Amino acid sequence: MPDLPLGDWQFYVVTGAALGAIWLIIRPFLPRKGGSTSCPNCADGAASKQRRRKTGLTVEGRRI
């Protein structure tokens, strides 16, 4: 089995790219620090501050 090419610059470029790709893959699964507990998907809780509009249901142009 060959040794690692520690003297080759391409080894470090590919290693860095692989580590960056791994970070991008696992980042969504890591817990976030701080932020609001009322909105787990928002860093600042902005979605919980927005008022939702109620939309009327229509079928074939008639309001139900």
Predicted model pTM: 0.47
Number of domains comprising the chain: 1
3 located within any domain: no
Q: Containing domain of residue 41, as a range?
A: 9-63
Amino acid at 9: W
- Taking the C-alpha atoms of residue 50 and residue 53, their distance in angstroms, rounded to an integer, is 9
Residue 21, in any domain of the structure: yes
Q: What is the mean pLDDT of residues 33-60?
A: 65
- pLDDT(61) > 70: yes
Summarize pLDDT for 9-28 with one digit per residue, the tens: 999 999 999 999 999 999 99
